[in-house]
């Protein structure tokens, strides 16, 4: 058991929202939002755009333009998540680093006030700059709102000492220091994001978002994946 977090920032990848043959899976969206809505902590969310576009994996586009498209795509994902959470009776505020008429500008002060009042805050637009991942945006937002924990839901159970898809003997690492993560250059989270968390003492949990009751377990103080601190 670890200390129960009161304010959690969830890095939600775009891939988590993806359908088999479409950018969105209504089932996945509903499942994730229902899990968030059922856990009584202060929730902030940073959304990615991998279900729509990934700048680093779009070599047919100029990288800066691809990243700009990705930042706009995170706004689409934020709106989808907001719609689902509102249908579940939750108050939601979207703040975006990219200016749109559908969102508010990023303001850590206003975000903290909204979180304290029980509103779920979704951060879109990444950092507002190209060549930077949404992992890095998640680290920055987690620090700026004074979250107790940054959690990243992925499609693996955490950080392994090998590639579990290729090596059956790969072992899950339950506890990992920032320095060890950075030295080993594990690929499950952006190095810059982990460096920011290290500098500010922001603990990170990497876990499988599809694991039943994962969010409830984390909120109760139970470690379910790999804790980096």
pLDDT (0 to 100) of residue 119: 98
Kindly report the pTM of this predicted structure.
0.94
pLDDT (0 to 100) of residue 57: 62
pLDDT at residue 101 above 70? Answer: yes
pLDDT in tens, 22-45: 999 999 999 999 999 999 999 999
**7-22: string of b/e by CB count within 10 Å (b at 16+)?**
bbbbbbbbbbbbeeee
Residue-level length of the chain: 229
pLDDT (0 to 100) of residue 88: 98
**52-79: string of b/e by CB count within 10 Å (b at 16+)?**
bbbbeeeeeeeeeebbbbbbbbbbbbbb
pLDDT at residue 58 above 70? Answer: no
Can you give the residue ranges of every domain in the chain? 7-228
Would you say 176 and 228 are in contact if contact means Cβ atoms under 8 Å apart? Answer: yes
Quote the DSSP letter at residue 124.
E
Collect contacts of 176-180 with beta carbons under 8 A, ≥24 apart: 176/226, 176/227, 176/228, 177/228, 177/229, 178/228, 178/229
pLDDT in tens, 132-166: 999 999 999 999 999 999 999 988 899 998 888 78
pLDDT in tens, 1-23: 678 999 999 999 999 999 988 99
Would you say 163 and 151 are in contact if contact means Cβ atoms under 8 Å apart? Answer: no
Q: Which residue has the tokens 């100029």?
A: 62
* Mean pLDDT value across the chain: 94
Please give the distance of CA 188 from its chain centroid, rounded to a whole number.
12
Which CATH number does the domain 7-228 belong to among 3.90.1150.10, 3.40.1160.10, 3.40.50.300, 1.20.1090.10? 3.40.1160.10
- Report, as an integer, the average pLDDT of 181-187: 93
- Report, as an integer, the average pLDDT of 106-126: 98
pLDDT at residue 171 above 90? Answer: yes
pLDDT (0 to 100) of residue 3: 82
């Amino acid at each position: 058991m670890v200390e129960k977090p009161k304010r959690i920032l969830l890095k939600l990848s775009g891939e988590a929202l993806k359908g088999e043959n479409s950018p969105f899976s209504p089932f996945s969206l509903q499942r994730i939002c229902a899990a968030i809505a059922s856990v009584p902590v202060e929730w902030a969310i940073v959304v990615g755009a991998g279900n729509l576009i990934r700048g680093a994996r779009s070599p047919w586009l100029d990288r800066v333009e691809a990243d700009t498209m990705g930042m706009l795509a995170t706004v689409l994902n934020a709106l989808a998540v907001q719609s689902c959470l509102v249908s579940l009776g939750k108050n939601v505020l979207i703040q975006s680093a990219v200016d749109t008429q559908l969102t508010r500008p990023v303001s850590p002060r206003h975000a903290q006030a909204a979180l304290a009042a029980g509103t779920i805050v979704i951060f879109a637009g990444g950092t507002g700059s190209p060549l930077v991942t949404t992992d890095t945006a998640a680290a920055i937002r987690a620090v700026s709102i004074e979250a107790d924990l940054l959690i990243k839901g992925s499609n693996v159970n955490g950080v392994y000492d090998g590639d579990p898809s290729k090596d059956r003997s790969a072992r899950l690492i339950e506890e990992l220091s920032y320095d060890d993560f950075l030295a080993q250059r594990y690929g499950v989270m952006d190095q810059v994001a982990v460096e920011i968390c290290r500098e500010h003492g922001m603990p990170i949990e990497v876990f499988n978002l599809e694991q039943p009751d994962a969010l409830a377990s984390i909120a109760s103080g139970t470690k379910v994946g790999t804790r980096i601190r």
